[in-house]
Amino acid sequence: MSEFYIKIRTNKDLGSEPFVNDLLTSWCNDLDIALRPESFDIGEPVRHSLATEGIEKAVRMWINEGMGLDLKRRSKPKFDAVIDWRSDLGLDDRLFPWGCTVWLNASAGDKLALELFKFLVCFFEPSFGWLTTQKDIDEKHFITFEDLTGIAEQYEGFDVGDTLPGVYWTTYFGPWAIKKIGKALFHNLNAEKVEPFNGGNLVTAYSSSSEIGSPKGTEIEREIMNKLGKEHFFDKSMVDIEALKTSPEEAEEIENIIEEVKAKKKSKKAKS
């Protein structure tokens, strides 16, 4: 099985010191020892050790840099976690622009993967979140197409707004998502379990991650989506590929930027 993939989307302020301190302290001390991060940094490479430099150093880096941290665990089961937040929202007008993505080695097993997912839901209070595998994400969200600049590859459908990303092995519907869909539609779902959790609903489609991507698992996900209203969910087959392609004007601008960078490098090399 490919590695577990956890993603959550939120509009919560991730820059307050109490939140950052509580999240990192709890992640490093309260979770199962096999789920605790070992190092931190602002982006790759992740070089700072939590054991030697401490949680306070990580908190200060997050707050002072105005960006969420990357967390890494190199002991088994390994994981990489990216916390997506920055103090300057800029031109980002998405309803839920922030969140956390975790790639967790499959050796962790279902129990630990679910523990980490629930932990993140409790802290980030997301509108929507999901737990599946990287392979499943690629099947549902990865798109390739021929562009003016060559073969383009990208992920689509992760944002929460007009549509929700999808239904997965375990899907968290926060209060916003439940209101969007309608609370009554969550009754009598053909799912392994639907449980109230942290103000929303945690929907487990089938009992084991081993069913992810299988005909049975895919059919159960499809039935859940149809019951909740498939119009509420991203559909890879409906993506307008033409709208994703680079226009001739954009392609020319990209080429100009590349040439400018090359010229600067050449000039710098000549002066040295």
- Summarised one tens digit per residue, pLDDT across range 226-250 is 999 999 999 999 888 887 876 665 5
How many CB atoms sit inside 10 A of residue 38's CB? 17
This prediction has a pTM of 0.89
- Summarised one tens digit per residue, pLDDT across range 154-182 is 999 999 999 999 999 999 999 999 999 99
Cα distances from 63 to residues 43, 46, 59, 102, in angstroms, run 15, 17, 6, 21
Helix, coil or strand: residue 149:
coil
The span from the CA of 164 to the CA of 235, in Å, is: 10
Q: What is the pLDDT of residue 2?
A: 87
State which amino acid sits at residue 250.
E
DSSP characters over 26-93: HHHHTS-GGG---EEESSSS--EEHHHH-HHHHHHHHHHHTBPPEEEE-SSSPEEEEEE-BS--TT--
Q: What is the pLDDT of residue 15?
A: 94
Q: What is the pLDDT of residue 269?
A: 58
Q: What is the pLDDT of residue 256?
A: 63
